[in-house]
Structure 1
């Protein structure tokens, strides 16, 4: 068998006895080959990168493994290392990737491993949000606000809306609207996020947009608007009595 050590000794026999020589040994050889494929490949995403872990192949092909290569699909973006794990950089955030790993010795490179799990690199930031100065319509007791998510931060928003109140710094708020999850970027469209009510007429309100994901909450700048003025009340005149009635006049007793 290849790569096996064998032991031997000579002997000779005559009519009287058998004689033996010294025990010696030798080992068979086998031409070196490329290594086997690495196994157990898995990946964890980061910001524009992924960390790829794996197990060494069962066989190095008879020649020491010089390095490993982790390659992405799509893109064939590669990272190199002498062992596990290998970090592959230069990936595009919000693009899904899988990875294979090869082993290289002096003879050549192994066939690729089975592909890893799929991962999507992303940043670890909350969404970027803009608060619009446009409030339309504005009523005496209600208003419709506007805002945008301009960057997801690497993950879609799980909640969005507005915080509003009468404090110019919004250190305290009257309420916070909740529009729910928001996919990608763009203007807020949910009425539950944009519409506020139970306001007071002729009052200045301050507001700012927000959006949250697993990495935190992003806020827009604080803007303000004023609700429409309160309607003027009309006095009520009540005639209580009258006297001194003539053909052309009367004296009325009134109360306002």
Structure 2
């Protein structure tokens, strides 16, 4: 009996041992269970969020928090917070985010078995407002003003458009008139066009980003009354075949001949200050005396070149002297009041050419039809496609919207052969010419041309009699060319001075300075400020 009881005890111990081992196998650790809490607060650079650890998986929670990324399924290998240990709810503070940016976030918890993640949420940080001020207004004339703005902070969202908007009522928006002046932050300048004379306007700078449109402070101004022609101070001496160019709203004129076909040529130069309405002599051209030259300005420098002088020996047809052609080019620096010789033209140069400027390049046509490009940056000449027009001398040119326009002229000596009115457009991008609408105001030569805003203007010159204009070999009418519809329009208010030829025309303060030139043996000294947009 005792042996039986002992055996039963051993069996009981063995059974208990087996039961204990089975319970230990059932207690295998697992990953934690948790959820990601909804966001409590979102700012431009952070968010308040958290999680709730529901079950530790049979092993202590050693770390918990949230992790986030710009991409889905973030892990603790990405950015994360560490917010204590244990089970239960917790709050996490996310910092260092970018404004107006979408992020993906998950709660996490780590125990002895590894790291588990809660459900994924996504949120977008708040975009801050851009910091924008409207620039003070500068009135150019009755129809044009300058303003702009400064964007010192884009609020963390890229600026995709900026400019000025204006209206005759307070609170202008981009639904009113506006300028478009690029992208990005920083200072910008805007031009207000097509204004009405004697009118009050309200102006605000604006920026557009992916969040919307924002405005700067509001300013107001009034435009002056309109006047087409205003007489300015007379030139200090009279000369024929004069040259001109404009730099930074200052007019420069000089060179030429003091008396028609009798006195020697001049090399004097002067500048006109529109603020003081006065003339001042500057450094003379160092090349000696010259007439019928070409002049233009590029990047703050003036250029004068070519032409002729009466320095050759007399002959049977010219008892005093004969004319000599020149091919040199000189650059004027207004800062040092000095002239520097530039690259000579590869051929003869000579008188009665014409020129126009597009960007940093000048385009020159001498007598004949060859077109030459002068690159002011490289100081080099290059021949381009020849001018296909009918007349080869004393033509007129202007440039608008990155295109050059050339026309008019004569085929031979004055008084003989053909006087022209055909107009041609030159595209430097393709080096091609296209014929445009013929000039309707009577064919002429030695006319004056200039471009302003989107229009070309032609005035003066010698030419044909037409019914609308009683015969006068020197015209005084002014015409506007609109390249958008290839159309010429006569200006309603005729030039108040006398008709003339070989006059000057330069843009100063968004108006045209016109005058000088000659009529027969009389050289003029009058200069006029012309507003072509006033009736």
TM-score (structure 1 length as normaliser): 0.52
1:211 equivalent to 2:245? Answer: no
Q: Are the equivalent residues in 2 in contact too, given 1:68–1:104 (CA < 8 A)? A: yes
Aligned to 2:133: 130
Aligned to 1:187: 187
For residues 158 and 212 of structure 1, the distance between their equivalents in structure 2, rounded to whole angstroms, comes to 6
Q: CA deviation at 1:25?
A: 5.5
Equivalent of 1:90 in 73, 90, 95: 95
Q: Are the equivalent residues in 2 in contact too, given 1:70–1:100 (CA < 8 A)? A: yes
SS of 2:83's partner is strand
Q: CA deviation at 1:147?
A: 0.6
CA deviations on 1:15-69 (whole Å, 9 max, x unpaired) are: xxxxxx9xx96533257658379899xx997522246789989x95422647622
When the two structures are aligned, how many residues end up with a matched partner? 202
The answer for unaligned runs of 5 or more in structure 2 is 1-7, 9-14, 70-76, 231-492, 497-535
CA deviations on 1:56-88 (whole Å, 9 max, x unpaired) are: 89x954226476222467995625386799653
Aligned to 2:23: 28
The answer for unaligned runs of 5 or more in structure 1 is 1-11, 13-20, 238-256
Aligned to 1:199: 195
User: What are the residue-to-residue correspondences of 1:107-146 with 2, within 5 Å?
Assistant: 108=112, 110-111=114-115, 121-123=125-127, 125-135=128-138, 138-146=140-148
Counterparts in 2 of 1:207 and 1:79: CA distance versus 1, 3 Å:
farther
CA deviations on 1:229-255 (whole Å, 9 max, x unpaired) are: 422669999xxxxxxxxxxxxxxxxxx
Aligned to 1:220: 216
SS of 1:28's partner is helix
Q: Which structure exhibits the higher relative contact order, with contacts defined as CA atoms closer than 8 Å and separated by 6 or more residues?
A: 1
Q: Are the equivalent residues in 1 in contact too, given 2:149–2:187 (CA < 8 A)? A: yes
Q: Are the equivalent residues in 2 in contact too, given 1:37–1:111 (CA < 8 A)? A: no
User: What are the residue-to-residue correspondences of 1:5-154 with 2, within 5 Å?
Assistant: 27-29=22-24, 35=31, 46-50=43-47, 60-63=56-59, 65=61, 68-71=64-67, 78=81, 80=83, 87-94=92-99, 102-105=108-111, 108=112, 110-111=114-115, 121-123=125-127, 125-135=128-138, 138-154=140-156
Q: Are the equivalent residues in 1 in contact too, given 2:200–2:223 (CA < 8 A)? A: yes
Q: CA deviation at 1:156?
A: 2.2
| Greater strand fraction, Structure 1 or Structure 2 | 2
TM-score (structure 2 length as normaliser): 0.29
Q: CA deviation at 1:146?
A: 0.9
Counterparts in 2 of 1:207 and 1:70: CA distance versus 1, 3 Å:
same
1:231 equivalent to 2:227? Answer: yes
Q: CA deviation at 1:154?
A: 3.3
For residues 98 and 208 of structure 2, the distance between their equivalents in structure 1, rounded to whole angstroms, comes to 19
Q: CA deviation at 1:221?
A: 1.3
Q: Are the equivalent residues in 2 in contact too, given 1:79–1:86 (CA < 8 A)? A: no
RMSD of aligned alpha carbons:
5.1
Q: Are the equivalent residues in 1 in contact too, given 2:172–2:203 (CA < 8 A)? A: no
Counterparts in 2 of 1:196 and 1:180: CA distance versus 1, 3 Å:
closer
For residues 216 and 85 of structure 1, the distance between their equivalents in structure 2, rounded to whole angstroms, comes to 36
Q: CA deviation at 1:181?
A: 7.2
For residues 215 and 145 of structure 1, the distance between their equivalents in structure 2, rounded to whole angstroms, comes to 25
Q: Are the equivalent residues in 2 in contact too, given 1:140–1:199 (CA < 8 A)? A: yes
